[in-house]
Amino acid sequence: MRHILSLLLENEPGALSRVSGLFSARGYNIESLTVAPTEDPTLSRMTIVTSGSDEVIEQITKQLNKLVDVVKVVDLNDGEHIEREMMLVKVRASGKDREEMKRMADIFRGRIIDVTDKAYTIELTGTGAKLDAFVGAIERSAILETVRTGASGIGRGERVLKA
């Protein structure tokens, strides 16, 4: 099953490689991994999307907790949570496609953030599934380039992850 793990870790050089090294050394999956410093510059917040049986997810959580640089780990799947991913997609936008692309971006609540005669760059935010849906909805040959951030997650309501 797919799980989304949220981590607080020391903002130290090498902390990321300790986490990624753990996943490769123990044969765990990483679907996506995002990391950036938090409002407290000594801490980084990381979101890892992974998958595995309950036993595997339990081991992943325990192993992550064991890393000295990791301050906290939560499995967002343990409660209600929100998940967002951002995608930048450069699409062909010339001739009759130009209007169609604009319309599709609007339908998916995307924003066109760069325009040339022949192309649009669209910014799109949502769950991974929504981004997949957009990519599926437009004509494949129209896609020039995509870049995705990977998922970020946060608990719903009053639930907070603090050091």
Partner 1 sequence: MEITGAEVVVRCLQEEGVEYLFGYPGGAVLFIYDELFKQDKVKHILVRHEQAAVHAADGFARSCEKPGVCLVTSGPGVTNAVTGIATAYMDSIPVVILSGQVPTHAIGQDAFQECDAVGITRPCVKHNFLVKDVRDLAPTIKKAFYLATTGRPGPVLVDIPKDVTVAKVAFNYPKTISMRSYNPVVRGHSGQIKKAVQLLTEAKRPMVYAGGGVILGNAAAELTQLVRLLGFPCTNTLMGLGGFPANDAQSVGMLGMHGTYEANMAMQHCDVLLAVGARFDDRVIGNPAHFFEEERHIIHIDIDPSSISKRVKVEVPIVGNVRETLQELIRQLDGFQERHDRSALKTWWTQIELWRARDCLKYDRGSAIIKPQYVVEKLYQLTNGDAFVTSDVGQHQMWAAQFYRFDKPRRWINSGGLGTMGVGLPYAMGVKLAHPDADVVCITGEASIQMCIQELSTCKQYHLPIKIVNLNNRYLGMVRQWQEFFHGNRYAESYMDALPDFALLAESYGHVGMRIDKPADVEPALKEALAMKDRLVFMDFITDQTENVFPMVPGGKGLSEMILV
How far apart are CB 104 and partner 1 at their closest, in Å? 45
Residues whose CB falls within 8 Å of the CB of residue 101, separated by 6 or more in sequence, listed in order? 91, 92, 93, 120, 122, 138, 142
Q: Does 66 participate in binding partner 1 (rule CB under 8 A)?
A: yes
| Residue 40 binds to partner 1 (criterion: CB under 8 A) | no
User: Does 10 contact partner 1 by CB under 8 A?
Assistant: yes
Should residue 68 be labelled a site residue for partner 1 when binding is judged by CB under 8 A?
yes
| Binding of residue 62 to partner 1 (CB under 8 A) | yes
Question: Which of 156, 151, 154, 159 lies closest to 50, judged by CA?
Answer: 151
- Dihedral of CA atoms 116, 128, 79, 39 in degrees, nearest 10, equals -40
Site map for partner 1, 69-108, x if CB under 8 A?
A: xxx-------------------------------------
